[in-house]
Amino acid sequence: MAIITLTTDLGDKDIYQAALKGSILKLLPTVNIVDITHSVAAFNVQQAAFILKNSFYYFPEQTVHLIGIDTVYNSDTKYLAVSYKNHFFVGSDNGIFSLMFDSEPDEIVEINIMQDLKFLHFPLADIFVKTACHLAGGGKLGEIGLPLATMEKKMTLQPVVEKNMIKGAVIYIDSFQNVITNITKEFFNKVQQGRRFTLSFKRNETINHLSWHYNEVPEGEKLCLFGISDHLEIAINKGNASGLLGLNLGDSVIINFE
């Protein structure tokens, strides 16, 4: 069965989700619609990119991922359909694809499907839906758009190595208030080389042991581990790490090695 996933900032209090899903089912009644999330902060491309980058590969190949972030029409807007690692992505050319992908996509087209004027303020339910259903139904990228060689680029904040130190930053806070940094497991292991470490952050807090799971420390105690995204997380067992430790997006974390 064909699959279309949805990642949007539409929330769950208005009619927008219903309009989006109903439009899909009108065109492709047998499709399997999967919500990744509709709770991305409004227009937050970085947040949406992190979520989708760390979730799309759990789906079967040929899945179509519809990205409803910053899609409102203006004269400079480009809407893209992209093939990457045997998955399809449909979204605005606002830099989100460069944040999601670790390598160049296989194919990019600028969608040239005619806009229905009654959906001018809501292209998700028109251009994006038509594109996603075309691809989910087995259609080709070249049938709905013109090839592009490049797309909008955005840079992610990268950790920095200085002598025996990694300087990183908080890039995401999940719904459990776990604090996720931009330090990946691969990057950490490459720099650590088996050495002992001390992770330091706000309020002179430190952690010097990697945990395998959240319950490895007593309830209410802080810990760090590499979670499902393979990024270093700071957490409190059954607690609110972001609030209790005062950690917010963009805050610095430092790892010193001995």
Ordered by where they begin, the domains of the chain are: 3-147 (3.40.50.10790), 160-257 (2.40.30.90)
Place of tokens 């950790």: 159
Report the share of the chain in percent with pLDDT over 70.
Answer: 97
Confidence bin at 124 (pLDDT 50/70/90): confident
What pLDDT sits at residue 155? 83
Question: Are 14 and 68 a contacting pair, CB within 8 Å?
Answer: no
Report strand pairing: 231-236 vs 165-173. Answer: unpaired
What pLDDT sits at residue 77? 81
* Least confident residue range of 64-73, 120-129, 140-149, 208-217: 120-129
Phi, psi of 96 (to 5 degrees): -65, -35
Instruction: Return the closest-CA partner of residue 45 out of 154, 125, 124.
Output: 154
Instruction: Return the closest-CA partner of residue 144 out of 135, 153, 136, 152.
Output: 135
Neighbour-count burial for 195-207, b at 16+ CB within 10 Å, e otherwise: eebebbbeeeeeb
Mind listing the pLDDT tens digit for each residue in 144-180? Answer: 999 998 899 988 889 999 989 999 999 999 999 999 9
Q: How far apart are CA 6 and CA 82, in angstroms?
A: 15
CB-count burial class (<10 Å; 0-12, 13-18, 19+) for 54? middle
* Least confident residue range of 19-33, 46-60, 72-86, 178-192: 72-86
Quick check: 196 pLDDT over 90? yes
Q: Is the pTM for the entire model greater than 0.85?
A: yes
Confidence bin at 85 (pLDDT 50/70/90): very high
What pLDDT sits at residue 163? 86
Confidence bin at 120 (pLDDT 50/70/90): low
